[in-house]
Structure 1
Amino acid sequence: MELFINIILMVTTFFLMEGVAWATHKYVMHGFLWCWHESHHKPHKGFFEKNDLFAVVFSIPSIATIVAGFEFENVGFLKWIGFGILGYGIFYVLFHDILVHRRVKIKFIAKNPYLRRMIRAHKIHHKHLGKEGAEAFGFLYAPKKYAPKDIHEKVELE
């Protein structure tokens, strides 16, 4: 039963991370740390961008909770929270950096309607090159208004 509760805690944390990511993207990345995030909205040379510093910062709570959960028996549940954060981070890298932005060159065409909606929402987000005026700050959840109007609409970012 304890394992079941811990898995529920991990999965819940994974999904709650979308709210954290949305708020962080809107109020921090497009707010006082735009100086880091701006690199993600502009063309750049090389594989890395200044925006990648966020991945380093966001790994700290995951690492801290996993380590604390293993080191201190009375807060062992923290490791499951850390694994939920880690899972969201892995999902984000795979879908955002690889499938959407093609930072690793792969041949993939989104056919799943929900995945197409997520990609289109992110594409709309990137129409705004500046700090202000952007929309669609989430990533796991994309409202239906971002669904492609035409099933043949190209939604990939290149």
Structure 2
Amino acid sequence: MHWFLYLAILIGTFILMEGITWCTHKFVMHGFLWYLHEDHHQPTPGFFEKNDAFFVIFAIPSFLCILFGTLDKIYWLQAIGFGIMAYGAAYFLVHDVIIHQRFKWFSRSSNTYVRAIRWAHKMHHKHLHKQEGESFGMLYVHRKYWNKVRNDKKRAR
């Protein structure tokens, strides 16, 4: 497989994962698997949450695509697996490290994107129950959150 096509599939999968994540978050995590996601909105003591099970759930298709794509030399399938894995790594860095700061690797940032994504996530978490949620995406930030952060920066000057 040509490296350009491989990279295009990998990047395309990464981009598509934002939509898949939004749908999964809204309809599965805030739906029939709320019992796994609830402790993320209503924190309980301890480092780990039941919500962390989603890491394993989403890692399985990535692993299987990489495994079978490699073993059977189906490189487009392997590229999909690596695209899912790359999105999982980005999700971990943005959600667990930057937003929730479960790992103290970075201090709070004044970067507009980081502030907008943190604000959007804060608005998501203001809802303690599975109904009436907002901002279900992860990397894409709706314009209203960008505008709020930009307006706050202007007021601070």
Contact 1:117 1:146 in 2 (8 A): yes
Match of residue 10 from structure 2: 10
Tell me which residue corresponds to 2:84.
85
Query: 8 Å contact 1:117–1:144 — kept in the other structure?
Result: no
1:31-110 equivalences under 5 Å are 31-73=31-73, 75-110=74-109
What does residue 115 of structure 1 align with?
114
Q: Structure 1 residue 128: deviation in Å?
A: 0.4
Cα deviation 1:74-130 (Å, max 9, x = unaligned): x22111110000000000001100110011124422222122111110010000001
**Farther off after superposition, 89-98 or 109-118:** 109-118
- Bigger drift between 14-23 and 75-84 goes to 75-84
Distance in 2 (alpha carbons) for counterparts of 1:152 and 1:139: 25
**RMSD of Structure 2 on Structure 1 (CA):** 1.5
Partner of 1:128: 127
CA contact 1:19–1:138 (8 Å) conserved in 2? yes
Please name the residue that 1:143 is paired with: 142
> Cα offset for 1:33?
0.4
* 1:77 alignment partner, SS class: helix
Q: Which has the higher helix share?
A: 2
Query: TM-score normalized by structure 2?
Result: 0.92
Gaps of 5+ in 1: 154-158
The percent identity for this pair of structures is 49
Give secondary structure in 2 for the equivalent of 1:132. Answer: coil
